[in-house]
Structure 1
Amino acid sequence: MRLALLTDLHANREALAACLEHARAQKADRYAFTGDFVGYGADPAWVVDTVREYVAQGAIAVQGNHDLSVTQPTRPQMHMEAREVIEWTRGRLDREQLDFLAGLPLTAELDKHFFVHASAHEPQRWAYVDCAEEAEKSLKAARGARIVFSGHVHAPALYRRADDGRMGSHVPLPDVRIPLAPQHQYLVLPGAVGQPRDGNCAACYAIYDDATRELTCFRVPYDHGAAARRVIAAGLPIVFAMRLIEGI
């Protein structure tokens, strides 16, 4: 199975379409979407409908914090601009789309693979897995899974918990196949499709091949200028257009 891993789509139609086309060319035969389908971007309905179509065909999808927020009163922890987009997004989704987001699980499992938007340790708290300590907590909470796939941090990273308990981390390079040893446990952050924040505006996603046990991360150029113009045309905060252009 060649599993395409896409996270943090953030209502970015251009980025998602480019990544899905790229994944098809890479012969992905299953898809996993690890949350935050809405928020920040200007095309929430198209993105939600696209994810729904893939789920209907057998894809895995879990809920992100923006997906939850759009289905209930906005959390005060969100900064003002993000709350503005969430409130705008509610008015662009119909009942079926909102029900789909509300009904998504926080976690999913497939064989020895575990899927979650943030951390497997108390996933409802939306903790950022941005260091080895947080990665270890997530891996220990993942009910014996050998690989945890998540998102939320908007930058690609790979953490390894060796069979002796030692932790290591690595920033994967694009298009480089990384073998994952069966005796170790891994946490994979494929980076954001819809709003990368590592200084590179190209969309991120990854493919895991369970036959060869290889992970490959990809950077997919797309028309980020068009996506940014959609944000501005929708009247959303300009900071979210600038993030698409600058990749931060």
Structure 2
Amino acid sequence: MRLALLTDLHANREAFQACLDHAARHGADHYAFTGDLVGYGADPGWVVDTVMAYVARGAIAVQGNHDYFATVAARAPMHAEAREAIEWTRSELSEEQGAFLAALPLTQERADILFVHASAAAPARWDYINNIDDAERSLRATDRKLVFCGHVHVPALYRRAADGTMGSHAPRPGVSLPLRRQHQHLVIPGAVGQPRDGDCRACYALYDDVSRTLVYYRIAYDHGAAARRVIAAGLPIVFAMRLIEGL
């Protein structure tokens, strides 16, 4: 199995399509979407419809905080611009699209893998994994060897050895990384739809369960077109600038 790991799509049609095309060319035969399909970007309906189609063919999808707040009446605990985007997104979703997002589970498990948007320690609290201590809490919360997650818009990789020793690695695009069976690993592919590490290229990763190797990718796409869609939709211009600047 070659599993494409895509997270934080954030309604960015151009970035999402570019990552899907790249994954298909590189032999992906399974797909996992670890949350935040919507929010910030201008194409929530198209993105949700596309994920729904993949899920109908067997893909995995879990719920992110933006997906949750786009489908409930509660006031999202976010900054004002993000709340504005959530409210706009809610008005753009069809009944079927909203029902799909609302029904997404917080976690899914397959074999030795746990899929979750935020921390496995408390999925509904939407905690960020910003450092090695956060990663350790998440890994200790599951007996699965691999945790694939999102929420953090910067690629990262953490390892917990059998003796409990923690380590971290700053992944480089295109480099194949072995994930040894005796360790637990926590994988953050980075954001498809809104990278925030100063590189405007979209992020995703491919995991091969036969060789137990992981490759992170950065994918160039027409971020100018995506930014123009954000502006045309009347969304806060800060979200267009993030796509241009990668911040």
Q: Same fold (TM over 0.5)?
A: yes
Aligned-residue offset at 1:166:
0.5
Q: What is the aligned partner in structure 2 of residue 186 from structure 1? A: 185
- Counterpart Cα distance in 2 of 1:199 and 1:67: 25
Matched to 1:237, the amino acid is: P
- Counterpart Cα distance in 1 of 2:46 and 2:76: 27
- Counterpart Cα distance in 2 of 1:128 and 1:73: 24
Q: Which secondary structure state, in structure 2, belongs to the residue aligned with residue 148 of structure 1?
A: strand
Aligned-residue offset at 1:77:
1.8
- Counterpart Cα distance in 1 of 2:84 and 2:199: 26
Give a deviation string over 1:178-202, Cα, whole Å, max 9, x none. Answer: 0011100000000000000011000
Matched to 1:223, the amino acid is: D
Map 1:85-164 onto structure 2 (within 5 A): 85-142=85-142, 144-164=143-163
Q: What is the aligned partner in structure 2 of residue 17 from structure 1? A: 17
Give a deviation string over 1:132-157, Cα, whole Å, max 9, x none. Answer: 11101101112x10000000010100
> Runs in 1 of length 4+ with deviation above 3 angstroms?
none
Matched to 2:213, the amino acid is: E
Give a deviation string over 1:185-237, Cα, whole Å, max 9, x none. Answer: 00000000000001100000000000000000000000000000000000100
Q: What is the aligned partner in structure 2 of residue 27 from structure 1? A: 27
Q: Which secondary structure state, in structure 1, belongs to the residue aligned with residue 92 of structure 2?
A: coil
Matched to 2:193, the amino acid is: G
> 1:74–1:86: 8 Å Cα contact kept in structure 2?
no
- Residue 76 to residue 55, structure 1, CA distance change in 2 (3 Å): closer
Q: Which secondary structure state, in structure 2, belongs to the residue aligned with residue 193 of structure 1?
A: coil
Map 1:232-247 onto structure 2 (within 5 A): 232-247=231-246
- Counterpart Cα distance in 2 of 1:70 and 1:195: 18
> 1:74–1:83: 8 Å Cα contact kept in structure 2?
no
Q: What is the aligned partner in structure 1 of residue 206 from structure 2? A: 207
Query: Structure 1 residues 72-81 or 184-193, which shifts more?
Result: 72-81
Aligned-residue offset at 1:100:
0.1
- Counterpart Cα distance in 2 of 1:221 and 1:131: 27
Matched to 1:233, the amino acid is: A
Q: What TM-score, normalized by structure 2, do the two folds share?
A: 0.99
> 2:154–2:188: 8 Å Cα contact kept in structure 1?
yes
> 2:8–2:150: 8 Å Cα contact kept in structure 1?
yes
Aligned-residue offset at 1:73:
2.1
Q: What is the aligned partner in structure 2 of residue 57 from structure 1? A: 57
Q: Which secondary structure state, in structure 1, belongs to the residue aligned with residue 199 of structure 2?
A: coil
Matched to 1:220, the amino acid is: I
Give the % identical residues.
Answer: 68
> 2:69–2:76: 8 Å Cα contact kept in structure 1?
no
- Counterpart Cα distance in 2 of 1:85 and 1:132: 31
Gaps of 5+ in 1: none
- Counterpart Cα distance in 2 of 1:134 and 1:73: 30
- Counterpart Cα distance in 1 of 2:85 and 2:118: 21
- Counterpart Cα distance in 2 of 1:197 and 1:73: 28
Matched to 2:99, the amino acid is: D
Give a deviation string over 1:80-111, Cα, whole Å, max 9, x none. Answer: 00010111111111100000000000000000
Query: What root-mean-square deviation, in Å, do the aligned CA atoms of Structure 1 and Structure 2 show?
Result: 0.6
- Counterpart Cα distance in 1 of 2:54 and 2:77: 31
- Counterpart Cα distance in 2 of 1:75 and 1:32: 28
- Counterpart Cα distance in 2 of 1:98 and 1:180: 36
- Counterpart Cα distance in 2 of 1:76 and 1:240: 17
- Counterpart Cα distance in 1 of 2:181 and 2:20: 28
